[in-house]
Amino acid sequence: LTEACLAQIDTAGALNAFVHGTADLARQQAARADERLQGADETPAMCGIPLGIKDLFCTKGVASQAGSAILNGFQPEYESTVTQNLFDAGSVMLGKLNMDEFAMGSSNETSTYGNAVNPWRRGNDDAALTPGGSSGGSASAVAADLCLGATGTDTGGSIRQPAAFTGITGIKPTYGRCSRWGIVAFASSLDQAGPMTKDVRDAAIMLEAMCGHDPKDSTSADLAVPNFEAMLTGDIKGKVIGIPREYRMDGMPDEIEKLWADGTAMMKDAGATVRDISLPHTKYALPTYYVIAPAEASSNLARYDGVRYGHRATLAQGDGITEMYEKTRAEGFGPEVQRRVMVGTYVLSAGFYDAYYNRARKVRTLIKRDFENVFADGIDAILTPATPSAAFGLGEMADADPVAMYLNDVFTVTVNLAGLPGISVPAGLDRQGLPLGLQLIGRPWEEGDLLNCAYALE
Ligand code: GLN
């Protein structure tokens, strides 16, 4: 499997999905997996499975740059808990995958490596499309069969949106399910790792290997990890699926409406009850997210100072420490990251803290309560479109106002603000033959049930 993936990666340079290859390491890990499988009574499901790892994960002795020039040359001395868990399960790392810089973006175009490309095309049109972001390299690599699965991270949709754009499955688990230790932090109260795979069964198997309690992350939940795969019965009789009316946006394309209606019909056919529900604070989710995420990012990114990691600017005679910080950060951070640092610093500044950051935190609580209320009312899972459109052309949005790009996250950010699990599953093609995804949102810690509902949609 590892050799087949390495050969496939060699033919797919144009996708720019893998940005640091680790073929030698992969072959060593694959040989160890072979040994482990010889004579074993049971075959551990992830043993010998070749994966791609998002560049946001610190991997010991292997370049880990979070898609940023400021981390040029950085090779961590330690392994992230998630990748260590996968390696302990016998998985093989083929290399590191492209992503938006510090996971900020929805198109992979803020990456210092240049964007990854979506293997899908619109009809006969050759124009290259975005694989989505920020886990765009992960999505592109899985969709193009360069690996059997990939790690992603999701702060506001970065697993689910690229999964939808490339016709694959991606789940963001409940906040606290996967350890964040060793994952370069973007917005610590929102960040979660998750698997990106061909289908729901693979997602269940890979998630089980990735997650679990980790004393090195104080927000990691001390809960047993269920056998998610065993929960995939496809039986959803008696489940109650909520359809939130606030997600029916003005100007939603017909195709997305139809996708949603078809998904609703499939859930009913499978024996679920479908109910209209209301999540009244949905309209505040994007502005809330785009205050909280930059605020946390501005604080997390303060550590890139030219001293501790990666890049340091060349200094002129007479430059002091302030010039070193300024020049290093001006050279090392791309425009989107600089924008987020400035917005975050502004909303946290003494004069504006209450008006923006504190206000956003209060609204976040209301958004979370909306979900708690419908779950208390008997809803088991919530069905929505994953994205407002299919994959867009590279350059199409990046050249527009940044807010146009932010609008892509309209269906996904609520889930991070509320800390809930959310999954995107491929659910059909648009008129131009591009994949579209549906999202299911579940109760906290009930990823097994959520995966099973998604399995019924597959
Ligand atoms: N697109 C969103 C942003 O730019 C979400 C990114 C993410 O989930 N990492 O912040």
- pLDDT tens digits for 439-455? 999 999 999 999 999 99
Closest atom, ligand 1, to C-alpha of 154: 8
What are the tokens at 70? 């400021």
C-alpha of residue 190 to centroid of ligand 1, in Å: 10
Mean pLDDT of 279-295: 98
Q: With contact defined as beta carbons under 8 Å apart, do 424 and 126 qualify?
A: no
Instruction: Give the CATH architecture of domain 2-231.
Output: Alpha-Beta Complex (3.90)
| Ligand 1, atom 10, residue with closest C-alpha | 104
C-alpha of residue 47 to centroid of ligand 1, in Å: 31
pLDDT for res 402: 85
- Where does ligand 1 bind, in terms of residues with CB under 6 Å? 103-106, 134, 154-158, 186, 293, 409
Residue 399 has pLDDT above 80, yes or no: no
Per-residue pLDDT of 73-95, as tens digits, reads 999 999 999 999 999 999 999 99
Closest atom, ligand 1, to C-alpha of 155: 8
C-alpha of residue 59 to centroid of ligand 1, in Å: 22
C-alpha of residue 376 to centroid of ligand 1, in Å: 29
Distance CA 67, CA 54 (A): 9
Q: Annotate 184-216 with b (16+ C-beta within 10 A) or e (fewer).
A: bbbbebbbbbbbbbbebbbbbbbbbbbbbebee
Max distance between CA atoms of the chain, in angstroms, equals: 74
C-alpha of residue 154 to centroid of ligand 1, in Å: 7
**pLDDT over 90 percentage in the chain:** 93
Mean pLDDT of 401-410: 88
Closest atom, ligand 1, to C-alpha of 336: 4
| Ligand 1, atom 5, residue with closest C-alpha | 156
C-alpha of residue 102 to centroid of ligand 1, in Å: 9
From 98, 115, 155, the mutation candidate for ligand 1 (largest count of ligand atoms within 8 A of CB) is 155
Distance CA 140, CA 236 (A): 31
User: What is the phi/psi pair of residue 70, to 5°?
Assistant: -70, -20
Confidence of residue 123 (pLDDT cuts 50, 70, 90): confident
Residue 215 has pLDDT above 80, yes or no: yes
Closest atom, ligand 1, to C-alpha of 405: 1
> For the chain, what is the mean pLDDT?
96
Sequence-ordered list of residues with C-beta below 8 angstroms from that of 56, at least 6 positions apart, any chain: 64, 66, 67, 99, 102, 103, 134, 153, 183, 184, 186
Complex prediction ipTM: 0.98
CATH code 3.90.1300.10 region(s) in the chain: 2-231
DSSP H helices, 281-358, are 285-300, 321-332, 335-348
From 68, 98, 99, 104, the mutation candidate for ligand 1 (largest count of ligand atoms within 8 A of CB) is 104
Per-residue pLDDT of 19-50, as tens digits, reads 999 999 999 999 999 999 998 888 789 999 99
Tell me the catalytic residues: 54, 134, 158
pLDDT for res 40: 80
Confidence of residue 398 (pLDDT cuts 50, 70, 90): confident
pLDDT for res 304: 97
DSSP H helices, 185-284, are 200-210, 254-269
- For tokens 């504190």, name the residue: 358
pTM for the model: 0.97
Kindly list the distances between the CA atom of residue 417 and the CA atoms of 169, 249, 362, 380, in Å, as whole numbers in the listed order.
Answer: 21, 19, 11, 19
pLDDT for res 209: 98
Closest atom, ligand 1, to C-alpha of 186: 9
Distance CA 180, CA 160 (A): 18
234: left (phi over 0), alpha (psi -120 to 50) or beta: left
